[in-house]
Structure 1
């Protein structure tokens, strides 16, 4: 409770109510009324010990009585939790406490006093006394300044929170972007690796194909060289000819039902040559074949020359490649002059003369 300190050398007296002060007791200490002291004095008949002092003392007493009145009315005088400010009031005659608003009920007489005392006791149990304070303009300015400072601090905190949220969002966006870039880089790397693998596979296949082609070309070249050598050792049976019937051709003109050789149509008397070096196995008339020469080669293959008009080689004679052994004619079962050529293996199996001649490097 705020109160002014007692004036030095102030005499003290007992206050007997509106009637005046009693200084006979020689009391030397100050009495500031409280709710408990008022309640006690109410029970004792309303006699209060009050310091008889100067205007300062009276002001303090009035402040104490005002506090009790505020408590009796149920209100608490505060200045927004600011420190209490001591004030001085002008020197006035103190009224009867019972006449003060709200206080008279607390200190009434008889049953009313007891009821008020009980009520006051109940209020005292729930509501503590406080100091009467006064808010000055400077305090209000300070309050506004603190309010403004609090508002500024709140805005600063809000700005900081927003900044942190933005930073976190930026970090999250950056992380997401980095993850997307990483995924894109991994995908690009996989695609590049796949392309590289595909390119390597294609290169390997191309290389393999090129090697195969080169090998095939080499084989073809070797075969051509072989055939060239064979061609040098083999020769066509005649020249200035026309192929009229091929091997295996079907017809009633042939006793076997199909043609067993290759026919070279040419004028009568056209030279007939040995296709390869060998030995004349026979040279004589042979029924439907007319005049026929059988030339046996070194591997046992037999070459038959049929329908000859004349024979210039005899049995047992060795001949070389390209040597004339007879002439084209129309003897035997024929429809016109031509050379009927047949090829037999050593086991007497017939071969296609055209294919055999090609296998020896000869083109017909």
Structure 2
């Protein structure tokens, strides 16, 4: 075991106190008042020579050095404080502790040990920060806080920019979708309009072609009663045909190619002619003053089949025209049927 150098004896000095010394009520001759001894660098310098151990460098060694010095100083002070036991001060030897012995340099000079202490203000300083000259712990902490705050601010700004970009992209996508929807609606409307116009054109062409095949039943006329018109003049309570008022003797024509299936007197209808078309549709001509055809006769569009008159149940000269589909008792609206054939009564 290595031993430290004995602590020096404190010089004797008369006490300046008037009462007690170390807890006694009077002065003791065998113990004197002791002056306070503060260990110095010279008094705690390790003994050189054969008691040398390997030098350990680093932050732990430096901290242990300070601890060892404090222990030696405390032990020395305790030796003096033990003077109240009545025994003279003795030298104190301490075994080499691992944490103490490892702190004693094996160099011949003490400067190496003195220079191994690290200032607490540089604890936590990185090599980069040390190279930049930032060695103060407070300054390092302040720099790190500022850097972290700047990083957080950059993250917030980046997020705000990303959110703004995303919102703009979403708005642009919605606008594009709305524009596309409007364009599709306009295209659909234009297509529908074009189709309707095409249909109208085709229907006009069809009616024009039909108009060449069909003809109005008479000329120089005035429409006086329409289909479905209510009144007491008709036994059914409503009008079953279309009335063309015209002077007596006005020519009556076949509206389309067909066969005469009836020609003669028919009660309230007066003189009546029935023209049956190839599709089975029957055209009734009533109140004629005369009939120019006979049953079974084939006629073409525009052929004369009789003349306007006032026979039967009438109030004046006119042609009563009815249209029946396939011989049914119920009639069709003659006005609508004629228009469907390209005619405009």
Which TM-score applies when normalising by structure 2?
0.61
**1:11-58 deviations in Å (ceiling 9; x for gaps):** xxxxxxxxxxxxxxxxxxxxxxx646xxxxxxxxxxxxxxxxxxxxxx
Structure 1: which 5+ runs fail to align?
Answer: 1-33, 37-66, 74-100, 129-152
Tell me which of 219, 228, 246 is aligned to 1:248: 228
- Which residue matches 1:272? 252
Given that residues 282 and 327 in structure 2 are in contact (C-alpha distance below 8 angstroms), is that contact kept between their aligned partners in structure 1? no
* CA separation of 1:193 and 1:259: change in aligned 2, threshold 3 A: same
On the 8 A contact 2:270/2:287 being kept in 1, the answer is yes
What is the distance in 2 between the residues matched to 1:347 and 1:291? 19
How many residue pairs get aligned? The number is 243
In the TM superposition, 1:201-216 aligns within 5 A as 201-216=181-196
1:112–1:252 Cα change, 3 Å: closer
Structure 2 unmatched ranges of 5 or more: 1-7, 22-26, 37-76, 84-88, 90-132
The corresponding residue for 2:341 is 360
TM-score between both structures, scaled by the size of structure 1: 0.58
Q: CA deviation at 1:168?
A: 2.7
| TM superposition shift of 1:119 | 9.8
Q: 2:241 aligns with which of 230, 245, 261?
A: 261
Query: Contact 2:34–2:80 at 8 Å: present in 1 too?
Result: no
2:81 to 125, 134, 137: 125
Structure 2 contact 254–301 (Cα < 8 Å) conserved: yes
Q: Which has the higher helix share?
A: 1
Q: Return the alpha-carbon distance in structure 1 between the equivalents of residues 235 and 308 of structure 2.
A: 22
For residues 101-133 of structure 1, the C-alpha deviation after alignment (integer angstroms, 9 at most, x for no partner) is: 78xx99xxxx742142799997813799xxxxx
Kindly indicate whether the alpha-carbon contact (under 8 Å) linking 2:252 and 2:305 is maintained by their aligned counterparts in 1.
Answer: yes
In the superposition, relative to structure 1, how do residues 327 and 114 fare at CA in structure 2: closer, same or farther (>3 Å)? same
The alpha-carbon distance between structure 1 residues 289 and 229, as it changes in their structure 2 partners (threshold 3 A), is: same
Aligned-residue RMSD, C-alpha: 3.4
Aligned residue among 291, 303, 306 for 1:323: 303
Q: How far did residue 357 of structure 1 move?
A: 0.9
User: 1:147-296 maps to which residues of 2 (within 5 A)?
Assistant: 161-296=141-276
State the alpha-carbon separation in 2 of the partners of residues 309 and 301 from structure 1: 24
